[in-house]
């Protein structure tokens, strides 16, 4: 659900015989990764009426459930899952740099407290809190919630599920894809004296003393919610 350009669908296609991936954006789906056993279609998360009841063994949602009308989504998910089918919801928040607690705090503050933070959609706070506000209805059982959160030293608690080894420029390019950054740049284009991401990267370079070509171990705090359909 909310597959975007199909990154998760592509991974699942090597594990399952058939993958059905939906999104509300025709543009996203037109650029989605292709595989012979992936079937893409346009659909909201709350309206899965195109699929018959008890159709799927597993239903996944990655980094998008905070946009949903949850009660309607859970009802739709319950209908299309087979009895004892699996619901998997996961998401991540602001990345940290392993071994660099001070820099990690700077990155989190940049996303949550500094100027561009005002340009996030208000629902961003839901994933920043790693879906603590989510309450699954009684149609789902065996609920398991795994949260890997930032701790001291640029580390996260528990197993690492999402990581990259990036140069400072790669990290900057990633942060410039943030919706809040893009919105900030558009709405303040006539008054911006320095790109805020570039300014932060320069500060990080000075703080760490980066060597040419040095890669940083980037880790994302994440939440994974697993449940099975009752029945």
User: In the 8-state DSSP scheme, what is residue 204?
Assistant: H
Tokens representing 26 are 């025709």
Q: Find, among 184, 170, 164, the residue nearest to 96 by Cα.
A: 164
Q: Can you give the length of the chain in residues? A: 231
Domain boundaries, the chain: 44-229
CATH number of the domain located at residue range(s) 44-229 in this protein:
3.40.50.150
> For each successive 10 residues of the chain (231 residues), what is the average pLDDT?
97 97 97 98 98 98 97 98 98 96 95 95 96 97 96 85 96 97 96 96 94 93 97 79
Cα–Cα distance between 95 and 166 in angstroms, integer?
12
Element at 217 (helix H, strand E) = strand 216-219
Residue 86 region, left (φ>0) first, then alpha (ψ -120 to 50), else beta?
A: beta
Calculate the alpha carbon distances from 14 to 1, 36, 158, 163 in Å.
18, 11, 26, 21
Each residue's pLDDT tens digit, 137-160: 999 999 999 999 988 878 899 889
- Quick one: pLDDT at residue 153? 75
On the CB side of 161, how many CA atoms lie within 13 Å of its CA?
Answer: 15
CB atoms within 10 A of CB 142: 11
Name the maximum alpha-carbon separation found in the chain: 59
Answer whether 66's CB lies under 8 Å from 91's CB.
yes
> In this predicted structure, what is the pLDDT of residue 154?
82
pLDDT at residue 118, rounded to an integer: 95
């Amino acid at each position: 659900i909310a597959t975007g350009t199909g990154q998760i669908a592509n991974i699942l296609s090597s594990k399952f015989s058939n993958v059905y991936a939906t999104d509300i954006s025709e543009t996203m789906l037109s650029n989605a990764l292709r595989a012979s056993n992936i079937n893409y279609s346009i659909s909201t998360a709350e309206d899965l009426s195109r699929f018959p009841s008890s159709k799927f063994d597993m239903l996944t949602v990655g980094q998008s459930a905070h946009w949903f009308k949850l009660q309607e989504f859970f009802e739709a998910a319950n209908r299309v899952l087979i009895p004892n089918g699996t619901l998997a919801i996961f998401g991540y928040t602001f990345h940290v740099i392993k071994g660099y607690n001070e820099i990690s705090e700077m990155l989190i503050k940049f996303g949550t407290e500094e100027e561009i933070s005002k340009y996030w959609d208000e629902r961003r706070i839901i994933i920043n809190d790693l879906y603590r506000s989510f309450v699954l209805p009684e149609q789902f059982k065996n609920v398991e919630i795994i949260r890997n959160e930032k701790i001291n030293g640029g580390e996260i608690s528990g197993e690492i599920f999402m990581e990259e080894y990036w140069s400072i420029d790669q990290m900057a390019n990633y942060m410039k894809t943030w919706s809040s950054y893009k919105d900030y740049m558009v709405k303040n284009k006539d008054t911006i004296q320095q790109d805020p991401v570039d300014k932060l990267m320069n500060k990080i370079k000075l703080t760490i003393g980066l060597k040419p070509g040095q890669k940083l171990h980037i880790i994302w705090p994440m939440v994974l919610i697993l449940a099975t359909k009752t029945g």
